[in-house]
């Protein structure tokens, strides 16, 4: 048990230049810790509520002073002086908020407290954060996740004109995490050279990947494969993955997408056929959000057709929510779930989501957000709960790279 002495919060700036919240937790023992909360651009409608001020005279309404005030006021008053463990703390905040989606106090305020308390407890126990997380979740064995790096940005993460939001590489061949990052770095450098040679922009998107104005989604796969080969690797060693974020191009029951440079309007079955063709043509091992967030039948069809070959990952579909994860299992709509702390709003619920996915035999996929900070909590989460995958963007931008650097540090510790 730990006793909170005080909770402080402040408004800081995330990687997209928008405000977010940072929370400081001080325990009676003198242990203290900070945690900051990320924010997504491509968000699911079922995510926990991120409290923004709505005051158009500040940050175009995106300020978080209300969330800051809730931490230092109601939440601090409600929690301080009580002996708490992590689950008790999180349940107390959920009950105190009293809404289904944490909209009264704000999921960003609640999550900031949840993560800062966890870190402070780890410091109090003189444990590495990943060790403390393993204890909280009864995880008996640590494992280093496979990184999947978003090296070409599209969709809502860039103005590249590409429908697919993330084109990722997965360095499955190299053994050590540091070797996986070395291979990824070399592929990214080769990709930059190829883009320059073809007079494409090498500017970067929100998650550190390049954002070139390519002619088609298919061309993105082609240039990445060329980069893999130019860097001296094979597509047996470096695989591909995508986050289609297909809710962003789903309209009136159809998918409006450019295929081979032609605008198409596809049904769920037709876009699944397209994904099947992509898997036959390219070394894809993962498709995230291939269908829109309410297209359960489409997801089920994708899983039926490709679930034996690839990871069918649900993000907007499940939003790290146990109820929706159970629903996806019942409908056989996925075989992997993306894990984002701020989608659900507390550490305890995140841990439950990971544990449930593992019970189903699914592979949890820990993720950053497009508006992120230099907080490395998800790196420790992925290792401490022995998750199979992590994505934190490309090897550019400090808020992306710091997560990978932290995993290399943990790898050395282990």
pLDDT tens profile 334-352? 999 999 999 999 999 999 9
Distance CA 309, CA 311 (A): 7
Q: Which of 128, 207, 293, 399 is catalytic?
A: 207
Cα distances (angstroms) measured from residue 338 to each of 54, 224, 246, 318, 321: 29, 24, 15, 8, 10
pLDDT tens digit string along 198-231? 999 999 989 999 999 998 999 999 999 999 999 9
Please check if 49 is assigned to a binding site.
Answer: no
pLDDT digits (tens, 9 = 90+) for 237-291: 999 999 999 999 999 999 999 898 889 999 999 999 999 999 999 999 999 999 9
- Cα separation, 262 vs 221, in Å, equals 17
Q: Helix or strand or coil: residue 26?
A: strand
Query: pLDDT of 283-326, one tens digit each?
Result: 999 999 999 999 999 999 999 999 999 999 999 999 999 999 99
Please say if the pLDDT value at position 161 is more than 80. no
295 marked among binding-site residues: no
- How far apart CA 323 and CA 386 sit, in angstroms, is 22
CA 47 – CA 108 distance, rounded (Å): 11
Query: Has 207 been annotated as catalytic?
Result: yes
**Does the active-site annotation cover 56?**
no
* Alpha helical stretches, state H, 244-397: 268-281, 296-306, 322-330, 341-344, 347-359, 377-384
d(Cα 21, Cα 384) in Å, to the nearest integer?
A: 24
182 appears as a binding residue in the annotation: no
pLDDT of 44 > 80? The answer is no
- Residue range 167-177, pLDDT digits in tens: 999 999 999 99
Catalytic residue, chosen from 102, 340, 363, 403, is 340
pLDDT at 45: 83
Known binder of ligand: residue 72?
no
Q: How confident is the model at residue 42 (pLDDT cuts 50, 70, 90)?
A: low
Confidence class for position 157, pLDDT limits 50, 70, 90? low
Question: What pTM did the predictor assign?
Answer: 0.96
Cα angle vertex 268, ends 340, 354, to 5°?
20
E runs forming strands in 154-261: 166-171, 238-243, 250-251, 254-259
Return the residue matching tokens 């730990």. 2
Q: For residue 324, say whether it is annotated as part of any ligand binding site.
A: no
What is the total residue count of the chain? Answer: 414
Distances (CA, A) of 88 to 3, 77, 100, 123, 172: 12, 16, 18, 19, 39
Q: Which is nearest to 82 in space by CA: 52, 111, 48, 113?
A: 113
In this structure, are residues 74 and 95 in contact, taking their beta carbons and an 8 Å threshold?
A: no
Domains of the chain: 2-126 (3.30.390.10), 146-413 (3.20.20.120)
Using DSSP's 3-state secondary structure scheme, residue 266 falls into strand
Cα distance between residue 301 and residue 268, in whole Å: 8
pLDDT over threshold 80, residue 160: no
Question: In this predicted structure, what is the pLDDT of residue 155?
Answer: 79
For the cut 70, the answer to whether the pLDDT of residue 20 exceeds it is yes
Residue 166, annotated as binding a ligand: yes
User: How does pLDDT run across 68-91, given as a tens digit for each residue?
Assistant: 999 999 999 999 999 999 999 999
Q: Does 179 carry a binding-site annotation?
A: no
pLDDT of residue 149: 98
Q: Annotated binding residue at 46? A: no
DSSP collapsed to 3 states, 341-366:
HHHHCCHHHHHHHHHHHHHCCCCCEE
Residue 235: φ, ψ to 5°? -80, 0
What are the tens digits of pLDDT across the range 92-130?
Answer: 999 999 999 999 999 999 999 999 999 999 999 999 999
State the average pLDDT over residues 8-22.
97
Q: Is residue 394 over pLDDT 90?
A: yes
Closest Cα to residue 404, out of 382, 386, 388, 384?
382
349 annotated as a binding-site residue = no
């Amino acid at each position: 048990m730990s006793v909170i002495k005080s909770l402080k919060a402040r408004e800081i700036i995330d990687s997209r230049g928008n405000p977010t919240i940072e929370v400081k937790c001080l325990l009676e023992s003198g242990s203290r810790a900070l945690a900051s909360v990320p924010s997504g651009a491509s968000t699911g409608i079922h995510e926990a509520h991120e409290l923004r001020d709505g005051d158009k005279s500040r940050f175009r309404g995106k300020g978080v002073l209300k969330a800051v005030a809730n931490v230092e006021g109601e939440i601090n008053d409600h929690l301080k002086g009580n002996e708490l463990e992590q689950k008790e703390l999180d349940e107390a905040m959920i009950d105190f908020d009293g809404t289904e989606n944490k909209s009264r106090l704000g999921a960003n305020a609640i999550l900031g407290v949840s993560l800062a308390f966890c870190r402070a407890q780890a410091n109090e126990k003189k444990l590495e954060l990943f060790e403390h997380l393993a204890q909280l979740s009864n995880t008996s064995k640590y494992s280093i996740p496979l990184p999947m790096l978003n090296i070409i940005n599209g969709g809502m993460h860039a103005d590249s004109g590409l429908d697919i939001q993330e084109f990722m590489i997965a360095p499955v061949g190299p053994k050590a995490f540091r070797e996986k990052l070395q291979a990824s770095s070399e592929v990214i450098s080769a990709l930059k050279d190829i883009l320059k040679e073809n007079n494409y922009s090498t500017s970067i998107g929100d998650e550190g990947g390049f954002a070139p104005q390519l002619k088609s989604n298919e061309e993105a796969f082609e240039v990445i494969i060329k980069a893999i080969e130019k860097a001296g690797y094979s597509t047996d060693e470096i695989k591909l993955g995508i986050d289609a974020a297909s809710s962003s191009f789903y309209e009136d029951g159809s998918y409006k997408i450019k295929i081979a440079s032609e605008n198409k309007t596809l049904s769920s079955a037709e876009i699944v056929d397209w994904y099947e063709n992509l898997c036959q043509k390219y070394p894809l091992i993962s498709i995230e959000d291939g269908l829109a967030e309410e297209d359960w039948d489409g997801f089920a069809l994708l899983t039926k057709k490709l679930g034996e070959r690839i990871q069918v990952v649900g993000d907007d579909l499940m939003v790290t929510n146990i109820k929706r994860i159970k629903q996806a299992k019942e409908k056989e709509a996925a075989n992997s779930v993306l894990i984002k702390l701020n989608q659900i709003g507390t550490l305890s619920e995140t841990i439950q989501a990971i544990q449930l996915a593992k019970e189903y035999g699914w592979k949890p996929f820990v993720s950053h957000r497009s508006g992120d900070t230099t907080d490395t909590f998800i790196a420790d989460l992925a290792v401490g709960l022995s998750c199979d995958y992590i994505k934190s963007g490309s090897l550019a931008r400090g808020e992306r790279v710091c997560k990978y650097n932290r995993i290399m540090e943990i790898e050395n510790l282990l």
